[in-house]
Amino acid sequence: MTYLHDVWLGVIEGITEFLPISSTGHLLLAEHWLGARSETYNIVIQAGAILAVTLIYWRRIVELLANWRQPENRDYLVKLTVAFGITAVLGLIVKKLGFELPTTIQPVAWALVIGGFWMIAAESYAARLKDSSVITLKVAIAVGLAQIVAGIFPGTSRSASTIFIAMILGTSNRAAATEFAFLVGIPTMYAASGYELLKQAMHGGGHENWTSLGIAFVVSTVTAFIAVKWLLGFIQTHRFTSFAIYRIVFGGLLLVLSAAGIVG
């Protein structure tokens, strides 16, 4: 039965990591019934989702790196580097200061609800802007800062915060904003996962069931690949409104369950 739990956790992580609905709230609720997992376990299944997005964008990544001398590719790489650099530097400072809200039901639920309303307002504003796929330096800086905000406030959703800040600051094209947010997320999340795994290893890390961890990793990778592929097709013709409504409803449900003492 334990391995079935690993499958479920892998599916939940894979679906929710890159969709703008926050993986944190879903994993918190799942672990309430399926049992809490170690920090190493959670990091590794997240790495599965990152691997999936890397596979989806591998052609774009190779194109950018192989043809970096082309002005448009070089400019895009500079913007990616700026966004990642801001996140890396400020992220280390935030970690050292210990400035992060607790990963518990109530703050995560409020972040889901508030984030849902923010998404509706941001997309409504972006819809009135001229369609643009250009990533400006302002957008790159803001995306880097948005990743820090998502790290400080669990439940915010890294993808939601980065996509929508890009959209309201000028990259109003949903596909272009999403691509930049996901490409920035690849090195950011690899670095964060590597940092946390190194920290776990240095502090002993405890004993892991590597079979369970391996199952969850593979399931997370496959599920995330399918989920992100679907999302990239969906946003070509649809707005993010359905995700925003889902966040508000799910966050509200978590608040009700917490108030009733069903989840803590």
**Is 198 domain-assigned?**
yes
Q: What is the pLDDT of residues 244-254, one digit of tens each?
A: 999 999 999 99
Rounded distance, CA 50 to CA 83, Å?
A: 17
Which ranges of the chain would DSSP assign to H, the alpha helix? 2-16, 23-34, 39-56, 58-66, 71-97, 105-127, 137-152, 158-168, 174-202, 210-234, 241-259
What digits encode the pLDDT tens for the residues 141-182? 999 999 999 988 889 999 999 999 999 999 999 999 999 999
CA distances from 222 to 52, 56, 197, 218, 225 (A): 7, 11, 22, 6, 5
The fraction of the chain above a pLDDT of 90, given in percent, is: 70
**pLDDT the model gives residue 194:** 85
For residue 132, what pLDDT band results from cuts at 50, 70 and 90? very high
Domain count, the chain: 1
pLDDT at 205: 57
Better-scored residue on pLDDT, 41 or 89: 89
Checking if the pLDDT of 242 tops 80, the result is: yes
- 8: which 2 tokens? 């479920």
Segment 104-119 mean pLDDT: 93
* Banded model confidence at residue 204, pLDDT cuts 50, 70, 90: low
Q: Establish if 131 belongs to a structural domain.
A: yes
Q: Which residue has the higher pLDDT, 207 or 37?
A: 37
Residue 202 within any structural domain of the chain: yes
Whether residue 94 lies inside any domain: the answer is yes
With cut-offs at 50, 70 and 90, classify the pLDDT of residue 55.
very high
Given this model, what pLDDT does residue 89 score? 95
Query: Residue 42: what pLDDT?
Result: 85
Check the CA dihedral 225-101-95-197 and report its sign.
Answer: negative
72 vs 106: CA distance, rounded Å: 44
Q: Within a domain: residue 129?
A: yes
Tell me, what's the pLDDT at 264?
A: 67
Q: Which domain holds residue 165?
A: 2-259
Task: Please provide the average confidence, as pLDDT, over all residues in the chain.
Answer: 92
Q: What is the mean pLDDT of residues 36-61?
A: 91
Model confidence over 66-78: pLDDT tens digits?
999 999 999 999 9
- 173 is a domain residue: yes
| Per-residue model confidence (pLDDT) at position 135 | 97
pLDDT recorded at residue 206: 59
For the chain, how long is the longest CA-to-CA vector?
A: 59
264 occurs within a structural domain: no
